[in-house]
Amino acid sequence: MKAQKLIIVCLLILGNTMMLKAQNPFITHKFTADPSARVFNDRLYVYTSHDEDDATYFDMRDWAVFSSKDVKNWKEHPIPFSLKDIAWADTMAWAPDCVHRNGQYYFYYPVERIKIGVAVGDRPEGPFKDVLGKPIIDFINEPNVGPEPIDPNIFIDDDGQAYMYFGCRYPKVTRLKENMIERSGELIDIKILDQDGQILEYIEKKEGEENIQANYGGDGVYGEAPWLFKRNGIYYFTYANGWSKDATMVYATSDSPTGPFTYQGKVMQPVSSSTSHGSVVEFKGDWYVFYHTMDISGKNFKRSICVDKLFFDKNGKIITVTPTREGI
């Protein structure tokens, strides 16, 4: 009996120790993708899309949120928002983001590959409620938003102006009003330049042609997954640069949140999933990059979120991260 108790105690201690040691992917009981990491009230929150266990396409139905105070131990919160909560959309609950303002939490989400909505909650973990009852971005009514307005990312500058970045292949940004649920001003095309000042942009394939760019990756051409952060007065724009096995998360910088941005290089080395959708965040004095891989499933529609530390050199350049299995 005593020996049994000892074994149980040893197993519990071992279990706890293993929980403390975060490994990549760090969420493994369900498939999660497109992590947007945010710090609220001294706690790190990660908002993700949720790949279904039986997925054969990016046909996701709800979102997920996890939080941690040490980037090692993670708590899963109840489902914060789902397609069932939206009257005007039925499919494709894709990459979300969440920000805090005016005592409320604003949850931005793309649906149906052509629309973006915003929902509001009192707490960082939700639940969120669709307050507009319609999209804030809708390709059907406004083709100028680009053919695939997905992946919303919100940045609030030091002067209080909020921006929403979004888009697949065509990066766009719009200002948001103080209420965070309405747009203001013009829609702006984000320009990314190479080091010689030449525009790097996606070129659509012509009839019967292979799209070399879409399959290339590895350079500064924008693919999807915009993420804007500011460090020491520099605006860093990170994004996924394509869909090939060499494609990864890269970045460009600017002295303005609306660009033009100058391409700087890789945030991280390529990972197993087709595009590298991720986010960068500072938490308790350290910087982290969140991303997803398909290492567990071997399937692109069943991804899992990962985190590694991120470092800058003395000139503010990102030191390219080599993804680890050890995690934090």
Would strands 104-111 and 97-101 be described as parallel, antiparallel, or unpaired? Answer: antiparallel
**Least CB distance to ligand FUB at residue 43 (A):** 25
**Which of 120/225 has CB closer to ligand FUB?**
225
Q: What is the gyration radius of the CA atoms in the chain, in angstroms?
A: 20
- Quickly tell me which residue has 């799209």 as its tokens: 211
Enter the DSSP assignment of 143.
Answer: G
Query: Which residue from 305, 234, 236 is spatially nearest to 276, judged by alpha carbons?
Result: 305
Helix (H) or strand (E) holding 3: helix 2-20
Contact status, residue 251 vs residue 240, Cβ threshold 8 Å: no
Q: Pick between residue 72 and residue 218 the one whose CB is nearest to ligand FUB.
A: 218
Q: Which is nearer to ligand FUB, 49 or 213 (CB)?
A: 49
Among 130, 277, 288, 293, binds ligand FUB (CB under 6 A): 277
Query: From the candidates 34, 85, 112, 151, which is the catalytic residue?
Result: 34
Catalytic residue among 130, 151, 224, 308: 224
Task: Give the contacts of 316 (CB within 8 A, at least 6 positions apart).
Answer: 231, 232, 234, 253
User: Catalytic annotation on 182?
Assistant: no
Cis peptide before 323 (omega within 30 of 0): no
User: Nearest approach, Cβ of 93 to ligand FUB (angstroms)?
Assistant: 9
What sign does the dihedral 172-95-279-125 (CA atoms) show?
A: positive
Instruction: Select from 22, 86, 116, 150 the one that contacts ligand FUB (CB under 6 A).
Output: 150
Q: Tell me, yes or no, if 34 is annotated catalytic.
A: yes
Question: Least distance from C-beta 270 to ligand FUB, angstroms?
Answer: 14
How many residues are recorded in the chain?
328
* CA pair distance 8, 11, nearest whole angstrom: 5
Site for ligand FUB in 32-71 (CB under 6 A): 33-34, 49, 58
Nearer to ligand FUB, 178 or 247 (CB): 247
The reply to whether 225 sits near ligand FUB by the rule CB under 6 A is: yes
Check residue 294 for interaction with ligand FUB (CB under 6 A): no
What's the distance, CA 75 to chain centroid? 19
106 binds ligand FUB (CB under 6 A): no
Among 224, 251, 266, 293, binds ligand FUB (CB under 6 A): 224
- Residues annotated as part of the active site: 34, 224
**Residue ranges binding ligand FUB (CB under 6 A):** 33-34, 49, 58, 94-95, 150-151, 224-225, 275, 277
